[in-house]
Amino acid sequence: MNCEQLLRIGGVIQLGILTASALVPGVLDWRRQLQPLDKLLRQLIWVHGAFIVLVIAGFGLLSLLLPGPLAEGSSLARGTSGLIALFWFARLTIQFFVFDAKAYLRNPWLRLGYYGLTVSFAYLAAAFGWAALG
């Protein structure tokens, strides 16, 4: 498998992650859990969530539609791939060292999704890191 194919797969994975992102507010009951917060804080959380979705959608579409230019090794391609790798490496690190999701992994599907996301974050960090390093 070549770098272009790995990045195309990464695009599919990133767009798939958006499915999990769409489930988060319901699984974590954001409407009820955020209700005690000040209106501005609730709005900030929703807006930050929306911007993260836009970033992931952008990364996914770039990876799916332009894997060749991303894999070509130019400075822009390496910088873009490096940014995407850093994003997913940071998310993977947060998964291991910051988030404690045990209380929310109440059924096998939620556990499978959580571990599937962890594997996805690792794949994305590695694939885009490889593209960035050439």
- Whether the model pTM is above 0.85: yes
Give the domain ranges of the chain. 3-133
**C-alpha distances in angstroms, 25 versus 21, 31, 34, 133?**
8, 7, 10, 36
Residue 28 φ/ψ, nearest 5 degrees: -90, 5
Q: Give the pLDDT band (50/70/90) at residue 118.
A: very high
pLDDT at 35 over 90: yes
pLDDT of amino acid 20: 87
Q: Dump pLDDT digits (tens) for 4-21.
A: 999 999 999 999 999 989
